[in-house]
Amino acid sequence: MSSVVRITDFSSPELDIYARFTENQLLNRHEPEKGVFIAESPKVIGRALDAGYRPVSFLMEEKHIDGQGRQLIARCSHVPVYTADFQVLTQLTGYKLTRGMLCAMRRMPLPSVLEVCSRARRIAVLENVTNPTNVGAVMRSAAALSMDGVLLTPGCSNPLYRRAARVSMGTVFQIPWTYMGGGEGAGAAPADIPLLKQMGFKTAAMALCPGSVTIHDPCLLREPRLAVILGAEGDGLSPDTIRSCDYTVRIPMSHGVDSLNVAAASAVAFWELARPVRDGQDG
């Protein structure tokens, strides 16, 4: 049975992970086996538990203990539940909680690039996408639209950051993903195109360039293995990445609009380019 602890002392060290630690401190790069992340909302917490992540503690509004949080607490016996009224929690954390519920969870070791890609037909590659909202939205689209995995360059925001995981609606726990190169925090770097080609992928850079093919090009759909590479807002993909890819791909636009937000572009690209995967599943 979980112990319920009503918050009376804001300086309690048990609350540091919710109130005072930065995302980088939670990640704990020096001792990654001790790293944690914060899952927010019942759906995100539930999907993390389903994926095997171990809870450390809960922080929730008191009314949710016998309400929305009841089933989650029942799944996590002996995990402490810190609680207070909504206004107190907002003061403690500095932001309003989504549905009044947070859970600190242990990180797990990331798979290798080879493990993510070994059986994949379609993968997404994010190059230096630093906005966690965009990362979360891309992860959700990748999971929903039949991509087999996601690779991130070291300059990308971590998919387990609280905002990224929440925007993804917990789908970060449902699709394989990992970092390329030196791992997260190694600094901005281009996608490792030679590695992708070595693993048998044709590479498609989503970019507005002369000579690009449209997303409907039948050659793209015929590729047995395809890596769809997307860049950050503003700068887009690096010139080296674009030059190194097998295809440069554009989404046809109208009304004088030149491009889409990377999250919106990813949904369009995944829907179209993963059609062979969906057709194979359906058939």
Query: Tokens at residue 98, please?
Result: 């989504």
User: Structure pTM?
Assistant: 0.91
Tens of each residue's pLDDT in the chain, 283 residues = 578 888 877 777 878 888 888 888 898 877 777 899 999 999 999 999 999 999 999 998 888 888 888 999 999 988 999 987 777 777 766 655 555 789 999 999 999 999 999 999 999 999 999 999 999 999 999 999 999 999 999 999 999 999 999 999 999 999 999 999 866 666 678 899 999 999 999 999 999 888 899 999 999 999 999 999 999 877 789 999 999 999 999 998 888 887 889 999 999 999 999 988 877 754 3
Q: Which residues of 197-233 are buried (b: 16+ CB within 10 A; e: fewer)?
A: eeeebbbbbbbeeeebeebebeebeebebbbbbbbbe
* Three-class SS of the chain: CCCEEECCCCCCHHHHHHHCCCHHHHHCCCCHHHCEEEEECHHHHHHHHHCCCCEEEEEEEHHHCCCCCHHHHHCCCCCCEEEECHHHHHHHHCCCCHHHEEEEEECCCCCCHHHHHCCCCEEEEEECCCCHHHHHHHHHHHHHCCCCEEEECCCCCCCCCHHHHHHCCCHHHCCCEEECCCCCCCCCCCCCHHHHHHCCCEEEEECCCCCCEECCCHHHHHCCCEEEEEEECCCECCHHHHHHCCEEEECCCCCCCCCCCHHHHHHHHHHHHCHHHHHHHHC
Please report the pLDDT score of residue 8 as a whole number: 77
Mean pLDDT of the chain: 89
Per-residue pLDDT at 221: 92
pLDDT at site 108: 94
User: For position 270, what pLDDT does the model report?
Assistant: 96
How far is the C-alpha of 206 from the C-alpha of 247, rounded, in Å?
9
pLDDT of 145 reads 96
